A and B are shown apart, each in its own frame.
Chain A
Amino acid sequence: MELSEHIKTANVEDVTLRRPFHPALRGTLCVTSHHLLFSNRKDEASWQLLILLKNIDAIEKRAVGSSGTITIKCKDLLVLQLEIPGMEECLNIASSIEALSSLESVTEMYPFFYRPSHLTLLGPWGLSTTEQYYKQTERLWDRWRVSKVNSDYSVCPSYPSAVIVPREVDDDKLIRSARFRQGGRFPVLSYCHHSNGMVIMRSSQPLTGANKKRCKEDELLLQAVIDGSELGYIIDLRSAQQAQQARMTGGGFESKSCYRHWKRIHRHHERGKVVQESLIKLVEACSDLSHSVDRWLSKLENSKWLSHVHSALSTAGLVVECVERDGHSVLVHGSEGTDNTLLVSSLAQIILDPASRTVTGFLCLLEREWIQAGHPFQQRCAHSAYSHARLKQECPSFLLLLDCVWQVWRQFPLALEFSEALLLRLAQEVYASNYGTFLCNNEQERCAAGVKENTHCLFQSMLKPDIEEQYLNPLYEPTDLAIWPSVHPQSLQLWTGMFLRWTEYAQNMEEAREEVWSIVKEHRERV
Chain B
Amino acid sequence: MEHIITPKVEHVKLLNKYPEKKSALGTLYLTATHLIYVEQTNNSRAETWVLHHHIMSVEKLPLTAPGCPLLIRCKTFQLLHLLFQKERDCQDVYQSLLHLSQPVKEDELYAFLYTPHQNQEDRRQGWEFISVANDFSRMGLSNEYWEISPLNKNYEICSTYPSILGLPKNASVAVVTGSAKFRSRGRLPVLSYYHKDTKAAICRCSQPLSGLTSRCVEDEQMLQAISQANPNCPFIYVVDTRPKLNAMANRAAGKGYENEDNYSNIRFQFQGIENIHVMRNSLQKLLEVCSMKSPSMSDYLTGLENSGWMRHIKSVMDAGVFLAKAVSEERASVLVHCSDGWDRTAQVCSLACILLDPYYRTIKGLMVLIEKEWISFGHKFSHRCGHLDSDPKEVSPVFTQFLECVWQLSEQFPCVFEFNERYLIEIHNQVYACQYGNFIGNCQKERLDMRLHEKTFSLWPHLLKNQHLYRNPLYRRSLESTVLRPSTLPLHFKFWCGMYNHYDGGMHPKQSVLDQLLSLTQKQVEGERTMTELQRLAVADGVLPDPSGLISTPTKQDSPCEKTPTAPVVQSNGSCAPLINGDAEEAVPGAEKCNEEEGAES
Q: Answer yes or no: do A and B interact.
A: yes
Interface bin, chain B: 35 or more
Give the contact stretch, choosing among A143-151, A284-292, A342-350, A441-449.
A284-292
Bitwise interface map of B from 482 to 501 toward A, beta carbon under 8 Å scored 1, else 0: 00000111111111010001
User: How many A-B contacts if CB must be within 8 Å?
Assistant: 138
A79 to B495 Cα, complex, angstroms: 28
Chain B residues with CB under 8 A of A286 = 491
Chain B hits for A293, CB < 8 A:
305, 310-311, 314, 490, 493
Q: Does B46 contact A (CB under 8 A)?
A: no
Given contacts A297-B301, A512-B474, A519-B517, A491 and B511 within 8 Å (CB-CB): no
Contacting A at CB under 8 A, from B30-64, are: none
Chain B minimum-CB-distance residue to A410: B509
Whether B414 pairs with A523 at a CB distance below 8 angstroms is no
Q: Which of B297, B314, B495, B497 has the most CB of A within 10 A?
A: B297
Residues in B whose Cβ lies below 8 Å from that of A492: 297
CB neighbours of A411 from chain B (8 A): 509-511
User: With A489-B300, A500-B491, A515-B476 in contact, is A475–B497 under 8 Å at CB?
Assistant: no
Are B304 and A297 in contact (CB-based, < 8 A)?
yes
Bound-state CA distance A475–B517 (Å) is 9
A301 in contact (CB, < 8 A): yes
Q: Is A505 an interface residue (CB 8 A)?
A: yes
Partner of A486, one of B300, B305, B507: B507
Indicate if the CB atoms of B415 and A483 lie closer than 8 Å.
no
Q: Which of A21-29, A129-137, A412-420 contacts B (4 or more CB under 8 A)?
A: A412-420
A63 CB contacts on chain B under 8 angstroms = none
Q: Which of B270-324 contact A (CB under 8 A)?
A: 290, 295-302, 304-305, 308, 310-311, 314, 318
A91 to B123 Cα, complex, angstroms: 78
In the complex, are the beta carbons of A490 and B491 less than 8 A apart? Answer: no
Asked if A42 lies at the interface with its beta carbon under 8 angstroms from chain B, I say no
Q: How many residues of A contact B (CB 8 A)?
A: 51
Query: How far, in whole Å, are A520 and B318 apart by their CA atoms in the complex?
Result: 36
Within 8 A of B (CB), among A65-101: none
Q: Does B88 contact A (CB under 8 A)?
A: no
- Which chain A residues border B553 with CB–CB below 8 Å? none
Within 8 A of A (CB), among B517-531: 517, 520-521, 523-524, 527
Partner of B298, one of A307, A490, A523: A307
| Chain B residues, Cβ within 8 Å of A512 | 414-415, 474
A523 to B305, CA, bound (A): 43
A209 to chain B, nearest CB (A): 33
Residues on B with beta carbons closer than 8 Å to the beta carbon of A516: 474, 513, 517
CB distance from B368 to the nearest CB of A (A): 25
Q: A490-B497, A519-B517 are in contact. Are A297 and B506 (CB under 8 A)?
A: no
* Chain A, residue nearest B301 (CB): A301
* Nearest CB in chain B to that of A515: its residue: B474
State whether B489 touches A490 (Cβ < 8 A).
no
B468 interface residue (CB < 8 Å to A) = no
In Å, the complex CA distance between A500 and B504 comes to 28
Determine if A291 and B474 form an interchain contact, defined as CB atoms under 8 angstroms apart.
Answer: no
Please name all residues of chain B whose beta carbon is closer than 8 Å to the beta carbon of A475 when the two chains form the complex.
Answer: 513, 516-517
Q: Which residues of A contact B (CB under 8 A)?
A: 285-286, 289-298, 300-301, 304, 306-307, 310, 410-415, 475, 483-486, 488-494, 500, 503-505, 508-509, 511-512, 515-516, 519-520, 522-523, 526
Report 30 cross-chain contacts, Cβ distance below 8 Å, ordered by A residue: A291-B488, A292-B490, A294-B305, A297-B301, A298-B305, A300-B491, A301-B298, A304-B298, A307-B296, A411-B509, A412-B509, A413-B509, A413-B511, A485-B510, A486-B508, A488-B506, A490-B300, A490-B501, A491-B497, A494-B491, A504-B487, A508-B414, A511-B415, A512-B415, A516-B474, A519-B474, A519-B521, A523-B521, A523-B523, A526-B524
